Chains A and B, each alone.
Chain A
């Protein structure tokens, strides 16, 4: 008898015209709470992963590094408390999406090394920008030389992947010029 009554009242609730709205709202709230919880327990780990990745790359580029400081998106590489070189991340638009490149420079603003951190270029073609045969060309270049050969500079584009090559080259040069300004103005 009681069960019957409950069932009836359940149907009544479901026939209410606001029921769909309330139901969807409840579902969304539950999802939000759940996501907040998962985000909370993974956040530290995710930040650690990102930092570990950058730190690893920086250590490869600057073997002398003792620690680094991040100011204005510039990684200031420190040894004995003095800045010995700098690094930053350049972002360019390639053929398949954004290309992120970690750029290491000397105290006199010549390129030391570049490492492509992430890209979604065509495998086997554009993705060759990650190979050292491409990135090694950047070693020792000054900002005005970081231009593709066919545009009058000193970087050979990968054949069949001019857009990807140009995206890396241009983003590195533009970001380098920006960062040199910032470093000079702030005396990092």
Chain B
């Protein structure tokens, strides 16, 4: 009996993670958290930093909120969620400022704004407050990874098209000969973010339709 339940949990654990990346991908499917997505996807470095930050906060807040879900009064649950999330974000921003200052600077205001990232509050309300700890962890990791993967795809296209080259952790990986001399600057400016996200969304929708047929 115990073993069956264990197996079931492990399987569901991985299923929850996969679900967050593909089926309920926060950016391309749920269209949540678009503000930071538009703003920080100007470079792959920023995307990685923001993604790591969101995974940390989402995992932490999902665990705590799931742990206290049975003793949290319904009436004050939203303020409780916000306090938990804000605490994790503040910890993250202190750690970033102390140990990775370049990242802290390039993320700027979008780091503290993780507090109001609707993905995190959304997962707390929809998932973590109703499910046991392990599943909530899986959900946090999955949705966090889904967000990160989306950011990386978007920022990769924007950085390559908008600057003609790609830098990761300050190291230049490659530069496209003609493009890097006269890059398509529009792609690292706000309109470029909308264009790239829209095209990707259309592409994923098309893939989904094709797969269903």
Interface residues of A (CB under 8 A from B): 14, 19-21, 23-24, 27-28, 31, 34-35, 38-39, 42, 45-46, 49, 53, 97, 118, 120, 122-125
Contacts and interface: CB of A to CB of B under 8 A. Distances in A.
Nearest to B90: A35
B103 to A, nearest CB: 12
Contacts of B42: 123
Contact of A123 (B95, B99, B189): B189
Contact of B189 (A38, A120, A124): A124
13 contacts: A14-B71, A19-B73, A20-B73, A20-B75, A23-B72, A24-B76, A27-B68, A34-B87, A38-B95, A42-B94, A49-B98, A97-B108, A123-B42
A118 B189 contact: no
* Overall SS of chain B's interface: helix
Interface in B148-166: 162-163
B96 to A, nearest CB: 10
A53 B102 CA distance: 11
B91 A34 contact: yes
A28 B87 CA distance: 9
Given A19-B73, A125-B185, A120 B94 contact: no
Interface in B48-81: 68, 71-73, 75-76, 79-80
A120 B98 contact: no
B161 to A, nearest CB: 12
Given A35-B90, A46-B97, A118-B105, A124 B76 contact: no
A47 to B, nearest CB: 9
* Overall SS of chain A's interface: helix
Nearest to A47: B98
Contact of B87 (A21, A31, A120): A31
B129 to A, nearest CB: 14
A179 to B, nearest CB: 25
B210 interface: no
A182 B90 CA distance: 37
Interface in B171-189: 183, 185, 188-189
B109 interface: yes
Contacts of A31: 83-84, 86-87
A60 B22 CA distance: 49
A124 B80 contact: no
**Ranked 5 nearest A-B pairs via Cβ:** A45-B98, A42-B98, A31-B87, A20-B73, A20-B76
A125 B185 CA distance: 9
Contacts of A122: 189
Contact of B94 (A19, A20, A27, A38): A38
B208 interface: no
Contacts of B97: 42, 46, 49
A45 B95 CA distance: 9
B99 to A, nearest CB: 7
B52 to A, nearest CB: 17
B122 interface: no
A23 B95 CA distance: 28
B95 A124 contact: no
Contact of A35 (B91, B185, B188): B91
B94 A124 contact: no
A45 B99 contact: yes
A168 B42 CA distance: 23
